[in-house]
Structure 1
Amino acid sequence: MAGVFRSTDGGESWATLNGGLDQGFHHQVQSFAVSPHQPEVLFRCSGEARGGEICGAVHQSVDGGNRWREVCSGMGFYGNGPTRMYGEVIAVDPHRRGVVAAGGYTGGLWVSPDHGDSWEQTMLPEERFGCVAFHPQQPGVLYAGTIGDNDLNMDYAEVEEGGLLRRLQDQPRGESGRLYLSQDNGQSWQLLYEGASFAELCFDSREPQRLYAACIWGGIRVSTDAGRTWSAAAGGLPAGRHRYGTVIQAGTQQGLLYTAPDARPHHEGLPPIPVYASGDGGASWRVVHRHADEDLSGFPAFMDHFSGGSRAAANGWAISKIVADRFIMNRLYLCNWYGVAISDDGGMTWRAGGFRGLETTCMEAVVADPCQPGKFAVTMADHPPKVTEDGGGTFCNLPGIPGYSGSTAITLSKRDDRRYLYGLVGHGRSACIAVSEDGGLTARAVLGLPQGMFVQALKEDKRRANTFYAYIEGAVAKGAGVYRSRDGGISWQQTAFRPPSHVATLPHQQQWIEAELMSVVVYQVKNACGCNQLLATDPLAPDRVLLGEWSEGLWLSADGGDSWESIGAGLPFLQNGRTSVLAAVAFSPKSAGTLYACFIREGLWRSRDHGQTWSKLFPLQEGAVFNASALTVSAQEEDVLILACEPMVQSHAPSGVVCSRDGGSTWDEWDITSLGAVRWKGIALDCEGQWLLGVTCGNGAYKAKLSSISK
């Protein structure tokens, strides 16, 4: 979900390689390959499910990943899907220059004879390919393994009526996995084996007919007849049922194998970092080391929030890949949920370099401190909020609360710089409003919400002491709506706002907004949809509150929520179909009565008469699509407007950021093509209008100084 990264210092730090990409699914990378003949030639397979279809593309780079171009669109891939933790599905022939093979999640298996410039579909059926591999010692020999319905890795999906496959927007493919063999670079194929699923293949460098496979729930298996028959290789591996997605042979030590089960927090009886080694061809395995925290270095502090504070145990979660360095003896790389860790002693100790450059968090919102330059707070999936006081250079955690794993909305107080109010969300769609009154040292829940409710936004009334507002989404019958606090956020009462009678939930089109259009993936509800932008308080007048609902309207209160006026007439709600929805609202900090409304597909709109009439402000070209997903407004001589566009599968527009220094009369388009198809979820300027911080779905946060990029 964040694209491709490169390290030039042995994994100590990383940089993104997404230049030239522009569609919403282009960062959802399922697989990656480097040409052994020309290391500057790279391939990536990306795609995702939206609208009942699985889309995808193969991209090629000929300059080491600086720029990419699409070379094949015949296959669908599921980069952040149920096979995301398994093997590579694109491979470059190590013997014959120019031959590349790729197997899709949909669309079958394709082969290119000319470095990816042209592609042809092979005769293989359309299955979920889990690994594609050329034999390193036998020219022309190509293997392709598939994954059955029962081996999809989806512990974290929210499965409702219709079952897992429907939630994934997938179709039944059968319960069995298969292994296919071609001996002529994919021109013809034979079915070797049917039964277990294949996530990764490993070839024994001493015996060409000997293969090893990570078979997910089928464990680690070995074949001595080139893949025709398989037997379990489980001696010494953990007892019980575990998934295996990786098995490798150490490149500098023939005969030494490594594997790791896919451990999760609820698993018991596993070592903290469950990496196992075998020196006898998989006949027996031993745990490399039972790690303690002192065996780890350079891991970020946020990992202390997981697994009871054990960084070692957290680093052992969800290991998807182990790689042995081909040149450095005993050097291993381990990839899991958090990043890439490095070992120089065969897995006895691990270091991480702080995961520099791998800040791939799915973020929800960003707000600027109203008084302190360079200070921002951000919220994100799976983490409590974080605060930076140096414009995004470094961050510290605000306290989490047991039972809640992620954060949604947040507000920083103008009158009390030690007060933070923020929304938290937990498993089972539980949520609360939390408050810290001591500068972030401690926090407590002050408003617990019924299951299924969600803190969409939190705002302070900058003109009314101790007054805060909260926008709560969920079932209207359970209390969804706008709440107000008159005592600094400690106690809350629901205001008079009630949506139109036909609206039973906020959002009204809940499934469409929360699991299809805005979310990071279709199988998770309300994950990285963006928060904190559909509620605003007037910086020029007390008690004036602006509230937006994605598809149903916009309302204004001039008395602190005691009464509400609909002001959405003239705005493009659903004007060009279901994608034309509201994403952000704001007051002008400079001109009384001036309001702004951002729409997916329809861009930015403005009213200069408290919402009585509206006109489009950007873009003005006929038919132009701009998914205005984030807006920040700063007061100088005129309103400074910075507007971000999120690329979406359902509403195609390239990722972009535009800026106006004259209240929207003229606009500058910033060059962010090197960032690729970044999915913007929030953007904020600090109180002096100098430092800018933008947050994204999957690519973390980006910082900039306005003066350095706006001219």
Structure 2
Amino acid sequence: MRRRTFAATAGAAVVGAGALSIPLIAGAEERNQQGRDAYTWKNAVINGGGFVPGIIFNETEPGLIYARTDIGGCYRWQEDSRTWTPLLDWVGRDKWGYSGVVSMATDPVDTNRVYAAVGTYTIDWDPNNGAILYSDDKGASWGIAELPFKQGGNMPGRGMGERLAVNPADNAELYLGTPSGNGLWRSKDYGRTWGKVEEFPNPGNFVIDPNNATTSDNQGVIWIDFDQIGGKIYVGVADPADPLYVSEDGGATWTAVPGAVEALGSASGNRTIPTQSAVDNTNGYLYIVTSHDPGPYNGAPASGNGGKIMRLATQTGEWTDVTPTYNPRGVIPGFGGITVDRQNPGTLMAATRNNWWPDEILYRSTDSGATWSLSWDYAEGQDRHDRFDMDNSGSPWLSWGGTDSGPAYAVKHGWMIDALAIDPHDSGRIMWGTGATIWGTEELTQWDSQGELIGEENGQRVALPVEKFTVGVRAEGVEECATLDLAALGGTLVSAIGDVGGFVHTDLDRAEPMIPTGWSTGTSVDFAASDPDIVVGTGNVHGNEKGHVGVSTDRGKTWKNAARVEGVPGDGNGGTVAVTADGSAILWTPGGGQVAPVYSNDLGETWIPVEGLPVGAKIRSDRVKASVLYAFSGGTFYRSTDGGKTFADTGATGLPSGAVEDFRAVPGKKNHVWLAGRGDDKEGIPGGMWRSKDGGTTWKQITVFETADSVGFGKAAKRSGYPAIFTSALKGGKAAIYRSTDGGNRWVRINDDEHQWAYSGSAITGDPQIYGRVYLTTNGRGIIYGDIAG
């Protein structure tokens, strides 16, 4: 057999994810200060906030559990504290795509070994190829085996799988199913080197939409599972006409499984693919979930069922359709996760995918799929009854600021439930991932003692008495939000967050309800420098009922929505917002590039067009003088001296035309403005950082940085000193977090190689009351903050 191998180059660095080390430093003159200023790093607690497409229990070591996310790395469960520990914070900006984890595998023989298939996009959004990360110490440190193709941790189909699997009969051997027509791959040396399985005949062909860049990729080889009774290896393929293969000789040869097309694929005219599998190695069954779409967003096709649950008897080859036949709201749109109870053979569970209203359904069978019971059901009409209560106290924002409305509860089972796993060592424990969190319980077996939820009396469906158990948040430690902006008021941290709006933290160790403005994504926040009780924010909204801008006059305790602006549609368009130093005026630049900036002098009740600014100009307020604001667009810097009514070009030259990432005014320093940018190759303007001390008329470049993404300010090191300056920037070829305490003359790196968080450049700010503290935005690791150690 020809076998091409791709080793992790001499180059494959082993990188740590464990104990804090003293940060790297930029120069000898900084060593004394830097040695004293080693940092410790934590998350501001949100608990969840993003899609958890995979939860993987080790089959032989109790309490060893991993969770993978689509953009925020992966985590290991800590049984003693019931929290998750992040494992990929060492991923740097040069390989940021490694934070998208498309699959994980935990070794059932040597349980110290764990593997992650990484790479965020199969399209050119991610410039790097994917990789297999391998660890011999449960993720405390990793090696890297680079692959010659991309992987899609944040692409459609990321909840399918698992695409990565350890052979329990020979744990040195791993298999990897790949997208984009790259076929089936294999390693025989614990993930160090990989080669294509040339004998595997089918790389898949299923494409969601060939005319859409993000959905035109071949979904490829989806999952690998092992029949430990007969020693067979099964592989699911995204090909409706040829969806399932088996090897009976250890992977040397592969054949199509008889009957698979009729059971799983397109013979019924439904064009489905086998998205997940689960094996019962006691009864000899392989369960397979099918769907007409790889998810995670699919709904039912125009007509007919959205998917099936098929059971294959691995010893006889007999197929049985065990699909549940009943959904309280009608046709089952499809299925997400499926799991078997290894302690109770014949017990399995499955979740609907995108049932949407009023909620998803968990199905449970104790007779190998012959009959099913439901997690909730209707009595007469829409009188909903449930087997368990949902306790969202671990993440109060999971109510989304709503209230129960008939059968549609504010706190739901979830959506996008592709991760569903019963603990192989404890039948009472289950965890499932959603688009926002991880839910779980240790009381699952009470389900079976409850009996039926609904009976019949006089021809009517009636509820039967059920002693409910509790399902709670199990996402403590998983911080997967994409954070877009931050405002540190001193004792209060306000955030703008992708997908979940934003939060007001008065205790960084406590999850909070979300800001009640109706934002689908928060995009910008600000506060009045001399009256920080006045806080403003903006975000994307759905529909045209609410304004984009939110206003608080009590330091974020309560909020109201400002008026809408004519010409700015809903469904996005959050833009950026600023408030003058005294809170007398709010200035908003709508997103979407349709309407020029506007201002309000009545806390958003009415809006007036700003004069002198183009569409899309970003605005910041001077942090001392209430009448002064600044704006930037296309290489031109503007200033207003009348509270934002009018702006004029300052005449500044030498600034990049279109690659400015951020600019901010300095607290306590009138007319001081700092600008961070990536430069402009076309105009020959280098990237980096600029500062102005005269309100943006003249600028000095800070040449130590090649590029800079963000700039922010915190408490000064000395009472009369310049505020501490923080930036996420590239210096000497290293993207890192840097700090200056002397007005920008000298800079030290304050993070280290074990704490990089892939990308942390959208916004940065220090704390006005705690010297040295810095808050970072990340693209998938929530809100990170650092303090000087000790």
Q: 87, 93, 112: which is aligned to 1:17?
A: 87
Partner of 2:102: 30
**Closer/same/farther in 2, CA of residues 75 and 138 from structure 1, 3 Å limit:** farther
What is the 5 A alignment of 1:172-571? 178-192=243-257, 193-194=260-261, 195=265, 196-208=272-284, 210-216=285-291, 217-224=306-313, 230-238=319-327, 239-265=330-356, 267-268=357-358, 272=359, 274-288=361-375, 290-291=385-386, 294=389, 296=391, 298-305=393-400, 308-309=403-404, 313-346=411-444, 348=447, 349-353=469-473, 355-369=475-489, 373-390=490-507, 392-397=508-513, 399-401=515-517, 404-414=519-529, 416=531, 418-427=533-542, 432-437=548-553, 440=556, 442-449=558-565, 450-451=568-569, 454-462=573-581, 464=582, 466-476=584-594, 479-481=595-597, 483-499=598-614, 506=616, 534-549=618-633, 553-561=636-644, 562-565=646-649, 567=651, 569-571=653-655
Counterpart of 1:204, as a letter, is: D
Q: Residue 448 of structure 1 aligns to a residue in which SS?
A: coil
**Closer/same/farther in 2, CA of residues 674 and 306 from structure 1, 3 Å limit:** same
- Measure, in 2, the Cα distance between the counterparts of 1:316 and 1:397: 17
- Measure, in 2, the Cα distance between the counterparts of 1:460 and 1:606: 21
Partner of 2:753: 673
Q: Residue 198 of structure 1 aligns to a residue in which SS?
A: strand
Partner of 1:605: 690
Q: Residue 664 of structure 1 aligns to a residue in which SS?
A: coil
State the structure with bigger RCO (CA 8 A, min sep 6), 1 or 2.
2
CA displacement, residues 187-215 of structure 1 (integer Å, 9 cap, x when unaligned):
4332334423122112222343x321011
Task: Quote the offset at 1:44 in angstroms.
Answer: 0.7
Partner of 2:160: 86
Counterpart of 1:221, as a letter, is: M
Counterpart of 2:373, as a letter, is: R
Q: Residue 24 of structure 1 aligns to a residue in which SS?
A: helix
Task: Quote the offset at 1:28 in angstroms.
Answer: 0.9
Q: Residue 303 of structure 1 aligns to a residue in which SS?
A: helix
CA displacement, residues 275-313 of structure 1 (integer Å, 9 cap, x when unaligned):
111122212211155537745464421122267447685
Q: Residue 491 of structure 1 aligns to a residue in which SS?
A: coil
Partner of 2:233: 142
**Closer/same/farther in 2, CA of residues 228 and 276 from structure 1, 3 Å limit:** same
- Measure, in 2, the Cα distance between the counterparts of 1:3 and 1:323: 19
Counterpart of 1:199, as a letter, is: T
> Structure 1 residues 137-146 or 466-475, which shifts more?
137-146
- Measure, in 1, the Cα distance between the counterparts of 2:674 and 2:183: 47
Q: Residue 26 of structure 1 aligns to a residue in which SS?
A: helix
Counterpart of 2:526, as a letter, is: T
Partner of 1:642: 726
Task: Quote the offset at 1:443 in angstroms.
Answer: 3.3
Does the 8 Å CA contact 1:543/1:557 hold for their aligned counterparts?
yes
**Closer/same/farther in 2, CA of residues 27 and 708 from structure 1, 3 Å limit:** same
**Closer/same/farther in 2, CA of residues 336 and 455 from structure 1, 3 Å limit:** closer
**Closer/same/farther in 2, CA of residues 377 and 313 from structure 1, 3 Å limit:** closer
Partner of 1:514: none
Does the 8 Å CA contact 1:177/1:198 hold for their aligned counterparts?
no
Partner of 1:587: 665
**Closer/same/farther in 2, CA of residues 432 and 646 from structure 1, 3 Å limit:** farther
CA displacement, residues 143-184 of structure 1 (integer Å, 9 cap, x when unaligned):
221336xxxxxxxxxxxxxxxxxxxxxxxxxx6572222334
Query: Which structure has the greater CA radius of gyration?
Result: 2
> Structure 1 residues 286-295 or 60-69, which shifts more?
286-295
CA displacement, residues 408-457 of structure 1 (integer Å, 9 cap, x when unaligned):
22223345554432213223698521223455554332221421662322
> Structure 1 residues 438-447 or 72-81, which shifts more?
438-447
- Measure, in 2, the Cα distance between the counterparts of 1:292 and 1:554: 60
Aligned residue-pair number: 622
> Structure 1 residues 278-287 or 449-458, which shifts more?
449-458
Counterpart of 1:420, as a letter, is: V
Q: Residue 251 of structure 1 aligns to a residue in which SS?
A: coil
- Measure, in 2, the Cα distance between the counterparts of 1:669 and 1:361: 25
Task: Quote the offset at 1:661 in angstroms.
Answer: 0.9
**Closer/same/farther in 2, CA of residues 139 and 558 from structure 1, 3 Å limit:** farther
- Measure, in 1, the Cα distance between the counterparts of 2:524 and 2:770: 22
**Closer/same/farther in 2, CA of residues 177 and 670 from structure 1, 3 Å limit:** farther
- Measure, in 2, the Cα distance between the counterparts of 1:415 and 1:572: 31
Q: Residue 14 of structure 1 aligns to a residue in which SS?
A: strand
Partner of 1:2: 72
Partner of 1:121: 196
**Closer/same/farther in 2, CA of residues 653 and 78 from structure 1, 3 Å limit:** farther
Partner of 1:162: none
CA displacement, residues 375-429 of structure 1 (integer Å, 9 cap, x when unaligned):
2111212334321224x23354465245x43322222334555443221322369
- Measure, in 2, the Cα distance between the counterparts of 1:692 and 1:279: 52
Does the 8 Å CA contact 1:386/1:397 hold for their aligned counterparts?
yes
- Measure, in 2, the Cα distance between the counterparts of 1:468 and 1:295: 40
Q: Residue 675 of structure 1 aligns to a residue in which SS?
A: coil
Unaligned runs of 5+ in 1: 149-174, 500-504, 508-533, 575-580
Q: Residue 119 of structure 1 aligns to a residue in which SS?
A: strand
CA displacement, residues 445-475 of structure 1 (integer Å, 9 cap, x when unaligned):
222142166232222221x561232222323
**Closer/same/farther in 2, CA of residues 343 and 639 from structure 1, 3 Å limit:** closer
**Closer/same/farther in 2, CA of residues 244 and 177 from structure 1, 3 Å limit:** farther
Unaligned runs of 5+ in 2: 1-70, 205-218, 266-271, 292-305, 377-384, 448-468, 680-686
Does the 8 Å CA contact 1:319/1:336 hold for their aligned counterparts?
yes
Does the 8 Å CA contact 2:73/2:101 hold for their aligned counterparts?
yes
Task: Quote the offset at 1:243 in angstroms.
Answer: 1.9
Q: 124, 128, 147: which is aligned to 1:51?
A: 124
TM-score calculated relative to the size of structure 2: 0.72
Q: Percent identity?
A: 19
Partner of 2:296: none
**Closer/same/farther in 2, CA of residues 420 and 666 from structure 1, 3 Å limit:** closer
Counterpart of 1:7, as a letter, is: W
**Closer/same/farther in 2, CA of residues 316 and 473 from structure 1, 3 Å limit:** closer
- Measure, in 1, the Cα distance between the counterparts of 2:401 and 2:433: 17
Counterpart of 1:146, as a letter, is: V
- Measure, in 2, the Cα distance between the counterparts of 1:122 and 1:279: 38
What is the 5 A alignment of 1:72-83? 72-83=146-157
What is the 5 A alignment of 1:144-163? 144-147=235-238
**Closer/same/farther in 2, CA of residues 233 and 353 from structure 1, 3 Å limit:** closer
Does the 8 Å CA contact 2:223/2:237 hold for their aligned counterparts?
no
CA displacement, residues 46-77 of structure 1 (integer Å, 9 cap, x when unaligned):
22235367842211122211222221313422
Partner of 2:114: 42
Task: Quote the offset at 1:643 in angstroms.
Answer: 0.7
- Measure, in 2, the Cα distance between the counterparts of 1:227 and 1:445: 63
TM-score calculated relative to the size of structure 1: 0.79
Does the 8 Å CA contact 1:219/1:242 hold for their aligned counterparts?
no
Task: Quote the offset at 1:686 in angstroms.
Answer: 2.3
Q: Residue 83 of structure 2 aligns to a residue in which SS?
A: coil
Counterpart of 1:377, as a letter, is: V
**Closer/same/farther in 2, CA of residues 399 and 206 from structure 1, 3 Å limit:** closer
Partner of 1:577: none
Q: Residue 25 of structure 1 aligns to a residue in which SS?
A: helix
**Closer/same/farther in 2, CA of residues 378 and 108 from structure 1, 3 Å limit:** same
